[in-house]
Structure 1
Amino acid sequence: MSFELLDECGAKKIVLCRDAETGLRGVIAIHSTTLGPAAGGLRMKAYADEREAMRDALRLARAMTYKYAASGIAVGGAKAVIIGDPSTHKSDELLRSFGRFIEELGGEYSAGEDVGTNGHDMEILAESTQWLVSLPEEAGGPGDVSHTTARGVRQAMRACAEHVFGSPELTDRSVAIQGLGQVGAKLARLLAAEGARLVVADIDDERARAVADEVGARVAAPEDILESDVDIVAPCALGDAVNEHNVNRIHANIVAGAANNVMASEAIADRLQSRGRVYAVDYVANAGGIVYDDWMIQRPRPATFDHDAALARVDAIYDRTREVLQRATADELPYRVAAERLAEATLHNASR
């Protein structure tokens, strides 16, 4: 079963992690180390079974390979998952145990925050592994990177707006944001400051109303928001946001958000494009959060980090998204294929 999944995703390695004492069941999926040691978030989720967890980890790891390659960052792609509800199953002992599995890989994989994990969890992991790309500033890391992720998604939106409307300006554009976690809420604030008209939704209704009150947005139901009659929809929650059930009901001209694996499948992505909709390829659009990762995995780690240079790399998401859209249009390609070719050119040059 594991080899079938590796073949399916073109991945290098799956590491299964089990600790009976803490109840840990986890997966580390390493897709590629062509560009350098691999990194990717550590997700904690109540998966139905081990196969679902492995498939999700491998799919996300592949996206990380392409995200780093498309961003020109010399890091390979990986992802880790812990099976369990983070609200009830997570413990410091479980995280320390998983950290020991990461440490045994000797730097081949470095972990970061993801769905179901946070900065405090990274500090607990740091007690048993040095290989982390997410840490609070007081613990020697870059701190909260959700602001750079949101900034990068905004740049991807601007590139899509230029492609569709002839101008990158988002003033008076209507935008619907699905998911108001750390990134979605910051994106809402950035867009509101630019003069966009917002519709927002979150499964936490209290959070949705708080953000809406702050930025002057209208609240919609989470299950309906991607079908809003707006210029742009921004999926910023979990993956598979655009799927068989809603792909033909998306009215927006543009789909550009922070979620990983926004499209449920390649066929869904192609169907959306065939309807004349433009989408920002997710691993290009949401790459703003990885600009510190190559610095974090260097040994010895440089004493200082050039934050201005990092923000310049985030803002370059505009240029990369623009390049993908232009290449896709010129060569009559799906947007996803144009992005893959951009990333694969980097991987090919590195492997020569």
Structure 2
Amino acid sequence: MGKTLFESPSFANHEGVHAFYDEKTGLKAIVAVHSTARGPAVGGTRMWNYASSAEALEDVLRLSKGMSYKNAVADLEMGGGKSVIIGDSRTQKTPELFHAFGRYLNGLGGHYYAAEDVGTSVEDIAEARKVTEFVLGLKDGPEASGDPSPVTAEGVFRSNLVVARRLFNQNDMTGLTVAIQGVGHVGAYLAEKLHKAGAKLIITDVNQANLEAVAAKTGAEIVAPDAIYDVAADIYAPCALGATLNPQTLDRLKVKAVCGAANNQLATADIGDELFKRGVLYAPDYVINGGGIINVASEMNARQTGGAYDPSWVEGKLSRLMETFEEILERSVAENKPTHLIADAIAEARIKAAADKKAEAQKV
């Protein structure tokens, strides 16, 4: 990080940073709790072969703060946190590793709930669940929310409809071309929804089987991965890796809007400023892809109410999220500010309001 923890810009006033090591299983994990103002911190567990513990710490701090914002803008009674396990997910995973991780989560006493993320799966979370209650995103049981991908895709699809109304004055996607980068889980669901709504699709992916499957269902045109930035399209929907909006790609894009599911689409915040200056509508990624965390959060709701997974609760939160997205677009125009800054301001205001209320209640 180049600086001590508290001096680093990435620290961002985190409430807690916890490092765990288990000699028997080789577990090396870091849990970052950014904020519990709105409720217990919730965020995924990433397993990655980081070059150093410093790199892992930098990543978990950045991701943890992002979860505070995502959960706040989705109006969930949850704070933000994240965890990373240092190791190769292809060769170093064992059930015992996740049992050890679960036991360490118990030590945090419910301040942080883990879920699947890059390098981990619902099966891994199920292993941790054998020793801890502090995990979410289960595939079995009455409260289990299952695969979050369809709900994530639904939120991104509805956001595309909002963009179609605002930019093209139409209530469906008829006649609009959407360039989808990445047709894995979320991207494939999104492609089907856009196709049914009348959109013409141009798709790319590094996985040929995914491409062929989606093209067969939707009639999409397939292009090489790097060519997606140069196609003639109305909307660019990044649904794979982050940082695809960067100085190298900005001048190549010919779209009027960016509206996709990928996390961390802006390589740097000033890319969002530049899109705004160029008149390109940017749908803030952590806002419109919030369907997944809403689906996961439904498990916490089920536990609190003693009930089961409730699709109507998920739908209510998703509808509220779309209202927030519309508010962001309206304020962007009214205040003449980029959408990503408006989204951040809304998230920060919600976190601060909850923190102030919590502080008042804790006065002695």
TM-score normalised by L of structure 2: 0.90
Q: Which residue of 2 aligns with 1:325?
A: 329
Q: Which residue of 2 aligns with 1:241?
A: 244
TM-aligned CA distance change 1:253 to 1:292, over 3 Å: same
Structure 1 distance, partners of 2:153, 2:88, is 26
- Residue in structure 2 matching 1:68, options 66, 71, 80: 71
Structure 2 distance, partners of 1:13, 1:223, is 40
- Residue in structure 1 matching 2:216, options 213, 216, 234: 213
Structure 2 distance, partners of 1:30, 1:9, is 11
Structure 2 distance, partners of 1:40, 1:7, is 17
Structure 2 distance, partners of 1:8, 1:52, is 13
- Residue in structure 2 matching 1:166, options 169, 172, 187: 169
Q: Quick one: percent identity of the two aligned structures?
A: 38
- Residue in structure 1 matching 2:157, options 140, 154, 157: 154
The DSSP-based 3-state class of the residue aligned with 1:213 is helix
* Residues 271-310 of structure 1 mapped to structure 2, 5 A cutoff: 271-297=274-300, 300=304, 302-310=306-314
- Residue in structure 2 matching 1:338, options 332, 336, 342: 342
Contact 1:123–1:139 (Cα < 8 Å) also in 2: no
The DSSP-based 3-state class of the residue aligned with 1:63 is helix
Structure 2 distance, partners of 1:84, 1:224, is 33
C-alpha deviation, 1:293, in angstroms: 4.2
Contact 1:248–1:272 (Cα < 8 Å) also in 2: no
TM-score normalised by L of structure 1: 0.93
Structure 1 distance, partners of 2:7, 2:241, is 25
C-alpha deviation, 1:272, in angstroms: 2.0
Flag the structure with larger Rg.
2
TM-aligned CA distance change 1:3 to 1:311, over 3 Å: same
C-alpha deviation, 1:88, in angstroms: 2.0
* Residues 1-352 of structure 1 mapped to structure 2, 5 A cutoff: 1-5=4-8, 8-138=11-141, 140-297=143-300, 300=304, 302-352=306-356
C-alpha deviation, 1:139, in angstroms: 6.8
Contact 2:71–2:80 (Cα < 8 Å) also in 1: yes
Structure 1 stretches (4+) deviating beyond 6 angstroms? Answer: none
Residues 27-86 of structure 1: per-residue CA shift (max 9 Å, x gap)? 211111110111011122222322222222222211211111112111001111222232
Q: Which amino acid in structure 2 is aligned with residue 36 of structure 1?
A: G
The DSSP-based 3-state class of the residue aligned with 1:42 is strand
Aligned length, in residue pairs: 352
Contact 1:135–1:143 (Cα < 8 Å) also in 2: yes
The DSSP-based 3-state class of the residue aligned with 1:223 is helix
Q: Which amino acid in structure 2 is aligned with residue 237 of structure 1?
A: A
